C-alpha cells in the first residue's frame, strides 16, 4: 500500500503546487493589470500610426515608458477580445495609469487627434464634409471659413483657401476650430511648394496662385501621373494662343453636386468658371491639387499639343491640330 500512498501524496503535492502557481499568477496578473500605476511617470502623448498591430502598439507603449507590463497587457487584450479594436490616432495618457485604463482608452477611441485622409482633388466643401463625417466639426462652418479666408501666396492675397488646403493624411485634433484645421493643411501646402516657386511661375508668365489654379485643373482632369506635365503643357499652349481652355471640370465646379457628364446645355452656363465661354484661367482653383499636379504645373512638358481627349484606362490622346483632335474624339468617344 505504501507505493499507492506515495503516489497519492505526490499527486496532492503537485495539485497544491499547481494551485499555488495559479494563485500566484492570478495575483500577479491582477496587480499588473489593475494595481500597478508606476507608469507613465508623467503625462505622455503617444501616436498610434494607422495600420498598427497590437504588437506594434505594445512595443511602442513600453518603449515610451507608458506601459509597465507588456505581457499582462497583451493577455488582457486577448481575454477581452480587443486585439483588433485598438484605435489609431494621438492619445494623451495621464500619469500613473493602470494597464486596464490604458487599454480602455485605446479601444474606446477617445483620442486627442485622429487620422483623416483628404484625397487629391477634394474641394474645401468636400473637406468640410469629411471632417463632419469623422465628428471633427461642422461642414458648413469649415466651408464658410475656407470661403472667406484669404492667404498670402507670393505677395498675392488669394480669394479663398480653395486650392491651398493640401491633400494628405493628417492627425486632426478633436474639437479643433476650422481655423486651426485649415492652418494645418495650408502649412503643408507651403511645405510642398517647389523651391523657387515664385521665379518658376514668373518664367511661365504667371504668379504662384495662377499656377496653383492651373494645377487644380490638372488634378481634376488627369489620372495618370506621367500625363500631368503633358496636360500642363496643353493649358500653357492654349493660354499663350488666347484659346479658351475648355476644361469640363471647371464647369462642374459651379454645381453644388457632382455631375458625371457635362452636357451641351451646361457648356452655355454664364459663369466665370465656364472655360468654354471665357478665355484665361478660372478666377480660383477648382480643387485642392496634390504634389504631382503642382509639380506638373510648375514644370510643364513643352510640346505643340493643343487638345486632348479621354481614351479610357486613365489615359488621354493628345493632338496638335483640331483635325487630329476630332479624329481622336471620333475614335474614342463614338
Distances (CA, A) of 227 to 166, 212, 235: 21, 17, 13
Per-residue pLDDT averaged across 137-155, rounded?
Answer: 95
Per-residue pLDDT averaged across 148-167, rounded?
Answer: 96
CA–CA distance, 184 with 241 (Å, rounded to integer): 38
Q: What is the pLDDT of residue 11?
A: 53
Mean pLDDT (the chain) is 90
Number of alpha helices (DSSP H) and beta strands (DSSP E) in the chain: 13, 8
Q: From 151, 194, 189, select the one nearest 167 (Cα to Cα).
A: 189
CA–CA distance, 77 with 72 (Å, rounded to integer): 9
Distances (CA, A) of 140 to 47, 102, 161, 177: 29, 35, 15, 12
Return the residue matching grid coordinates 482632369: 221
Per-residue pLDDT averaged across 235-262, rounded?
Answer: 89
35-111 carries CATH number 3.30.70.270: no
CA–CA distance, 43 with 46 (Å, rounded to integer): 10
Q: What is the pLDDT of residue 179?
A: 97
Give the residue extent of every domain in the chain: 35-111, 114-192, 197-333
Residue partners of 74: CB distance under 8 A and separation at least 6: 54, 55, 58
DSSP H stretches of helix in the chain:
2-30, 54-63, 70-79, 99-108, 124-133, 139-148, 178-192, 197-203, 208-221, 228-241, 248-252, 291-298, 322-333
How confident is residue 262, by pLDDT bands cut at 50, 70 and 90?
A: confident
Q: Is the pLDDT of residue 18 over 60?
A: no
CA–CA distance, 275 with 269 (Å, rounded to integer): 10
Q: What is the pLDDT of residues 86-123, one digit of tens each?
A: 999 999 999 999 999 999 999 987 899 999 999 999 99
Cell (9 digits) for 197: 516657386
Q: From 97, 112, 110, select the one nearest 172 (Cα to Cα).
A: 112
How confident is residue 27, by pLDDT bands cut at 50, 70 and 90?
A: low
Amino acid at each position: 500500500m505504501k507505493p499507492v500512498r506515495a503516489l497519492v501524496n505526490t499527486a496532492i503535492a503537485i495539485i497544491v503546487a499547481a494551485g499555488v502557481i495559479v494563485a500566484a499568477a492570478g495575483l500577479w496578473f491582477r496587480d499588473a493589470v489593475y494595481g500597478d500605476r508606476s507608469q507613465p511617470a508623467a503625462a505622455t502623448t503617444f501616436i498610434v500610426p494607422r495600420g498598427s498591430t497590437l504588437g506594434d502598439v505594445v512595443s511602442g507603449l513600453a518603449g515610451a515608458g507608458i506601459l509597465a507590463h507588456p505581457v499582462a497587457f497583451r493577455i488582457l487584450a486577448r481575454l477581452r477580445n480587443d486585439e483588433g479594436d485598438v484605435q489609431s490616432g494621438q492619445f494623451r495618457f495621464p500619469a500613473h495609469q493602470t494597464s486596464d485604463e490604458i487599454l480602455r482608452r485605446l479601444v474606446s477611441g477617445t483620442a486627442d487627434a485622429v487620422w483623416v485622409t483628404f484625397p487629391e482633388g477634394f474641394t474645401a466643401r468636400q473637406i468640410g464634409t469629411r471632417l463632419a463625417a469623422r465628428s471633427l466639426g461642422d461642414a458648413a462652418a469649415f466651408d464658410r471659413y475656407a470661403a472667406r479666408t484669404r492667404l498670402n501666396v507670393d505677395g498675392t492675397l488669394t480669394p479663398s483657401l480653395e486650392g491651398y488646403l493640401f491633400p494628405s493624411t493628417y492627425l486632426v485634433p478633436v474639437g479643433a476650430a476650422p481655423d486651426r484645421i485649415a492652418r494645418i493643411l495650408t502649412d503643408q501646402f507651403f511645405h510642398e511648394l517647389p523651391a523657387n516657386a515664385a521665379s518658376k511661375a514668373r518664367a511661365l508668365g504667371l504668379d504662384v496662385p495662377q499656377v496653383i489654379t492651373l494645377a487644380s485643373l490638372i488634378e481634376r482632369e488627369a489620372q495618370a501621373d506621367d500625363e500631368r506635365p503633358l496636360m500642363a503643357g496643353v493649358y500653357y499652349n492654349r493660354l499663350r494662343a488666347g484659346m479658351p481652355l475648355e476644361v469640363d471640370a471647371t464647369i462642374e465646379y459651379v454645381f453644388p453636386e457632382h455631375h458625371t457628364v457635362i452636357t451641351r446645355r451646361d457648356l452655355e452656363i454664364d459663369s466665370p468658371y465656364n472655360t468654354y465661354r471665357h478665355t484665361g484661367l478660372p478666377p480660383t482653383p477648382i480643387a485642392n491639387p496634390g504634389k504631382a499636379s503642382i509639380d506638373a504645373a510648375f514644370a510643364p512638358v513643352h510640346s505643340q499639343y493643343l487638345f486632348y481627349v479621354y481614351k479610357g484606362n486613365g489615359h488621354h490622346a493628345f493632338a496638335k491640330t483640331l483635325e487630329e483632335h476630332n479624329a481622336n474624339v471620333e475614335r474614342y468617344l463614338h
